Amino acid sequence: MSLMTRLALVFLALGVSLSTATTGIDTIAAISSSSFTCLKNNGYHFYIGRVGQSNGGIDKTGVQNIKNAWAGGMSNVDAYLFPCHSSSCGTAKAQVQATVNALKNGGAKFGMLWLDVEIYNWPSNQATNRQFILDMVSECNALKVKVGIYSNNNNWQSIVGIDWNGVSKYPLWWANYNGAVSQLQQLQAFRRMEQAFHSSIFWRRKGCVLCWKRRPQLVPLKKRNNKEAF
């Protein structure tokens, strides 16, 4: 596992029992198909790869990782887009198009495209940010791509306002980087986000991430070490 920088553990549960959880990873490091096979043989079955970068570019390593993940035997493979807000970058819809085209042109099959909504170069105007997210989601729908949102209560509060529920019907990948936060604090933060999202929720923290879809289900990821991870 030493080759895995910024390794993340994901437990995607099919029910409330931990015994049914599926373990996987989220990393930007290059991983060969043989390494994915090794991971599979050691109980890993899920991978999420970065494709759209915060500088507006395409992560070709991420595209190849997604292909390698399938070739190595991963059961579920997703992609994520970290949007760019520089004036030199394309529109929200254009960035989704570029990400999806990179995957399709690269022959990289994927289950869902996660849109990363966290504090990094977003404008201060929440109305503008809301529209940007709506435009990304709209383009995913137009392209018939399954879409989910990656965020947490702090990011959501800052970027769009904690009570905004404009994309509430889509899955939420909950991000919590502080593994030391108390259970009470986690629950309070989750309850606030729950008001904006009522679909699947993946709770991300150092040791464990919880997935909710009507009933408690499960999911954990390790903190990304720096902004290069996005």
Q: Say whether 59 is catalytic.
A: no
pLDDT at 223 over 60: no
User: Using CA atoms, how far apart are residues 125 and 161, in angstroms rounded to an integer?
Assistant: 10
CA distances to 5, 25, 37, 51, 62 from 100, in Å: 25, 21, 26, 9, 12
Mean pLDDT value across residues 5-29: 50
- Specify the amino acid at residue 82: F
Mean pLDDT value across residues 130-155: 94
Catalytic residue among 59, 116, 135, 139: 116
pLDDT, tens only, 162-178? 889 899 888 887 765 55
> What is the value of pTM for the model shown?
0.76
Question: Angle CA(51)–CA(84)–CA(122) in degrees, nearest 5?
Answer: 130
Catalytic residue among 26, 59, 78, 139: 26
Q: Say whether 135 is catalytic.
A: no
Give the pLDDT of residue 112: 94
pLDDT, tens only, 43-82? 888 888 999 999 999 999 999 999 999 999 999 999 999 9
Find out whether 207 and 220 touch, Cβ atoms under 8 Å: yes
Catalytic residue among 59, 78, 118, 139: 118
